[in-house]
Chain A
């Protein structure tokens, strides 16, 4: 705890300092008519915002469960990083526009000395930021691992070790974002210093613009490109999480293959794997089994498969087969067909032949979930099962698992 508050005090100090630097830089940029200084100021601003988000994100991630959000707020980090990157992109876009305008209408940098001084101090401040951040935020990771009691000599240690490494890497998502910003700032300050020096050494006075006036916009454009190149990967990563995509380390094909091989599982569907925040993967699936005992056997093995894939929170819904329902369809999507549009994947389409039907069904299953193609058949295949006893369950065409390997609605492809 002591470390946390120490770091947060440092962060707050840096935030205040950044705010001051931003204000100074932007005013001098307007006074001295230097575009690169303005872009540097914007970079400092987005850096500041990411630090603030980092501060809040850390606080929020500690909340594990809340009435408003059953997952806690661990995603606040990710969302903050995404928002900040988009904000930075928008600011850079406006700077880019300014630079284009400067190409059309070149303007001189006045008060070169002032700009130079501010540029140098900005550079110094960025380096200071960099140093402080390197020091304070890399020492955060280790203690957590020792607390879980993991012995590093675990048989599974290569996997666990690599997982830990992955976890460390991905947990520093927002921190990395901040770091990238800081490095971009440093570059920006260098650009400012270069431009100001040129104007200081060869002042233009009242003369009209010559080649010197074009240096500012060109270097600014380069700087914009650099900053954008660091913002875009962050946007990509965070949108992977926000869009509920399958996390990077998980291979769905492999996973579903392994799941199909678990004995006792006739078929499965509605497999969803997503990432809550860095490192925390969640999965849900519906499994069709013959009997409850089958299910309990299979449940453990299914979890193991997921565990090996890196997914540790799994919710498995068992469904029991009878001769009436097709093997492919979900037996319990919701209680009424009217809810189909609110299911995450539509159950509308009827299944066809086995393997083919699986593929075709896969394509049509959640096809444009909300759209119905006009047909309002509400009484399709989801048959009614009333009192199929256990023996009828056994009479179901109990295809071997190998056959059913290809039948898993949900997300096989």
Chain B
């Protein structure tokens, strides 16, 4: 559906571009030529959006991209936003130039005709993309909401549940196998959890009854697609504004301007042409002094000439104002920031207050695109069985925040390392500290950004390896294995 719209608009715009170029050649109007190239920039924006949509439909993982190409639409939105900014900038420069050297519009009638045609096409485009435009903004936020928005389209799992499957009744939602090893007593608590979950989903289903009529495609168009469409919308919007300005300007020009006739003396006070000015002025004055004063035509009101740049400036301001949010949103996603609706600190504290969880580190939340939020964390537990009990709760906490793709790494404290509470048990080696995504643990507000602190972490593994790195040629891979094995043995004991 999106593609169809984009293709349609692309065809229209390109056609119009060709027409405008032809007309400008025929009428040799430079202004129309420049306007036609604005259409070309529109075409480019549409092409970028189309490419992004094509890419983003390949959501499967590939050799080159383990996440699929879902992010392409966010990138497309960013490219369009930057492109639009550059366009505004060039328009700004042109407007400044026009201020210093005002031009008259030649053949205003032709300009009006072409401007109206362009405006019609742009308005058509606006209607095509309007659904995704500013209105889509609110929808995007709605999508971001954690609880309600997600569960409804898949419906309550209840109705589709195969009957008579007692265990299935227990776990209507998928459970992690980590809890599978628990005894049946735990199974009971899971049942309770399952019931609670169902109630919640029921409530949400009812609460979001309004969303049911949305067909699959609407729901599927999550915020990344909307970002992309917003980029296109803003481009078309800018073009429409440009056409409006052209039409208004030409109309006023046609109506109010007194042009200099080809023949006869004419005094144009608006154009800064010093030499000619003096010549004509003296000429005109001389003749006027002699005979008819009225025959000297003075070119029309000068403020008309300045109307164009002023309107252009206004347009630039409007465009920049509407482009900036798009730029910000796509940039924030690309920067791997935490999505707005999630509070990392509260998530951290929720996780930490779970019993069985000793410490959390390397908690990372980021948004892949749209509603796909990914989280990873390292959870420190005393032993594997505690971890099994707590794993489901952890996933639920993440799920409640809207983070559904999580990778949780359990770490078991080694015997006797009380100091290692907050530190990672399984980092890479010391020299990799720089290449890790984050050098230190972030239990606190993490002002420890110096490399020295990352080195002084007395990770159990690190401690073993640290002296090793000081040695020179004598080390070899086997020795690394040996030491690591002893570490493993320690962990064995603790878990057993």
**Which residues of A does B touch, CB under 8 Å?**
26, 30, 62-65, 67-73, 75-76, 79, 82-83, 86-87, 90-91, 93-94, 97, 101, 104-105, 144, 147-151, 153-156, 160, 163, 167, 239, 242-246, 252-253, 270-274, 276, 279-282, 284-286, 292-293, 296-297, 299-300, 303, 306-307, 310, 312-322, 324-325, 331-346, 362-363, 365-372, 374, 376-379, 382, 384-390, 393, 410-411, 413
Whether the Cβ atoms of A384 and B59 lie closer than 8 Å is no
Q: Give which listed residue, B70, B433, B491, contacts A369 with CB less than 8 A.
A: B70
A76-B335, A296-B492, A386-B190 known; A62 vs B59 contact (CB < 8 Å): no
B-side contacts of A160, CB under 8 Å:
431
**What separation, in Å, do the CA atoms of A68 and B417 have in the docked complex?**
32
Q: How far apart are B148's CB and chain A's nearest CB, in angstroms?
A: 12
Complex A-B: 27 CB contacts under 8 Å = A75-B334, A82-B78, A87-B86, A94-B87, A97-B40, A148-B455, A151-B471, A243-B72, A270-B407, A272-B67, A276-B437, A296-B492, A300-B426, A321-B177, A332-B175, A334-B398, A336-B151, A336-B174, A337-B157, A339-B404, A340-B154, A341-B220, A344-B70, A344-B405, A376-B154, A387-B183, A410-B61
Give the 5 A-B residue pairs with the shortest CB-CB distance, closest first: A332-B176, A385-B180, A90-B86, A331-B177, A336-B173
CA distance A91 to B93 in the complex (A): 12
> Does B355 make an interface contact (CB < 8 A)?
no
With a cutoff of 8 Å between Cβ atoms, the chain A residues found around residue B69 in the complex are 243
Partner of B438, one of A71, A82, A245, A274: A71
Assuming A149-B430, A335-B399, A378-B154, is B177 touching A319 (CB within 8 A)?
A: yes
B197 CB within 8 Å of chain A: yes
Task: Assess the B426–A343 pair: CB atoms within 8 A.
Answer: no
For the A-B complex with A245-B65, A344-B368, A385-B175 known, give 18 more contacts whose Cβ atoms are closer than 8 Å: A69-B335, A70-B338, A87-B86, A104-B33, A149-B430, A246-B64, A280-B435, A315-B377, A319-B176, A331-B178, A335-B197, A336-B173, A338-B151, A339-B404, A344-B374, A362-B60, A369-B60, A376-B154
Q: Are B446 and A64 in contact (CB under 8 A)?
A: yes
The digit string for B245-263, where 1 denotes a CB below 8 A from any CB of A, is 0000000000000000000
Partner of A273, one of B66, B168, B363, B487: B66
Which of B121-129, B159-167, B287-295 contacts the other chain?
B159-167
A-B contact count (CB 8 A): 386
Does B391 reach chain A (CB closer than 8 Å)?
A: yes
Query: B residues within 8 Å of A by Cβ?
Result: 25, 30, 33-34, 37, 40-41, 44, 57-72, 75, 78-79, 82-83, 85-87, 89-90, 93, 97, 100-101, 150-151, 154-155, 157, 160-162, 167-168, 170-184, 186-187, 190, 197, 201, 216, 220, 222, 331, 334-338, 344-345, 362-366, 368, 371-374, 376-378, 384, 391-392, 395-396, 398-399, 402, 404-410, 412, 426, 428-440, 442, 446, 448-449, 451-452, 455, 469-473, 475-477, 484, 487-488, 491-492, 495-496
Query: Is the Cβ of A379 less than 8 Å from the Cβ of B161?
Result: yes
Considering the chains assembled together, what is the distance between the CA atoms of A408 and B382 in angstroms? Answer: 30
CB neighbours (8 Å) of A90 from chain B are: 82-83, 86-87
Q: What residues of A have a CB within 8 angstroms of the CB of B201 in the complex?
A: 336, 338
Partner of A271, one of B66, B335, B477: B66
Query: Which residue among A65, A312, A411 has the maximum number of chain B CB atoms within 10 Å of its CB?
Result: A65
Q: Are A332 and B430 in contact (CB under 8 A)?
A: no
Known contacts A64-B439, A276-B336, A292-B495: A332-B216 contact under CB 8 Å? no
Cβ-closest chain B residue relative to A94: B90
Closest to B67 in A: A244
Name the one of B37, B60, B67, B428 contacting A363, with C-beta atoms under 8 angstroms: B60
Q: Specify which of A155, A243, A376, A382 is in contact with B160 (CB 8 Å cutoff).
A: A376
CA distance in complex: A362, B434 (Å): 34
The CA of A26 and the CA of B376, in the complex, are separated in Å by 50
State whether B331 touches A390 (Cβ < 8 A).
no
B455 contacts A369, C-beta separation under 8 Å: no
Complex formed: what's the CA distance from A62 to B443 in Å?
Answer: 18
Q: Which of A242, A367, A386 contacts B59 (CB 8 A)?
A: A367
Verify A384–B376 contact, CB threshold 8 A.
no
Nearest A residue (CB) for B383 = A292
A340 to B62, CA, bound (A): 19
Q: Are B59 and A368 in contact, with the CB atoms below 8 A?
A: yes
Contact status of A94 and B86, CB under 8 A, knowing A245-B65, A270-B407: yes
Q: Judge whether B469 and A242 touch: CB under 8 Å.
A: no
Given contacts A70-B338, A385-B180, contact A293 B404 (CB under 8 A): no
User: Measured between C-beta atoms, what is the minimum distance from B230 to chain A in Å?
Assistant: 17
**Would you call A366 and B60 a contact (CB within 8 A)?**
yes
Across the interface, B337 reaches (CB within 8 A) one of A68, A286, A322, namely A68
B324 smallest CB distance to A (angstroms): 13
CA A330 to CA B151, docked complex, whole Å: 20
With contacts A30-B100, A86-B83 taken as known, whether A242 is within 8 angstroms of B64 at the C-beta atoms is no
- Would A293 and B179 be within 8 Å (CB), given that A64-B446, A75-B334, A286-B407 are in contact? no
Determine the chain A residues whose CB is within 8 A of the CB of B70 once the complex forms.
344, 369
A63-B335 Cα distance, complex, nearest whole Å: 13
> In chain B, what residue has the closest Cβ to A76?
B335
Closest to A318 in B: B410
Max chain B CB contacts within 10 Å: which of A93, A153, A334, A382?
A334
Known: A153-B473, A335-B395, A344-B368. A73 touches B182 (CB 8 A): no
Given contacts A243-B65, A271-B66, A300-B426, A316 and B409 within 8 Å (CB-CB)? yes
**Max chain A C-beta neighbours (<10 A), residue from B93, B435, B455:** B435
Question: Is B470 a contact of A149 with CB atoms below 8 Å?
Answer: yes
Partner of A384, one of B41, B61, B171, B365: B171
List B contacts of A246 (CB < 8 A). 63-66
The answer to whether B173 touches A335, judged by C-beta atoms less than 8 angstroms apart, is: yes
Q: How far is the CA of A303 from the CA of B452 in the complex (A)?
A: 23
Which residues of chain B are within 8 angstroms of A306 by Cβ–Cβ distance? 428
A386 contact from B157, B184, B391, Cβ within 8 A = B184
Give the residue of B33, B85, B365, B399 whose beta carbon is less than 8 angstroms from that of A70. Answer: B365
B437 touches A313 (CB 8 A): yes
B residues less than 8 Å from A337 (CB atoms):
154, 157, 173-174
Contacts of B440 in A (CB 8 A): 64-65
Centre residue among A253, A296, A363 by max chain B CB count within 10 A: A296
Please determine whether A343 and B372 come into contact, CB atoms closer than 8 angstroms: yes
A320–B179 Cα gap in the complex (Å)? 9
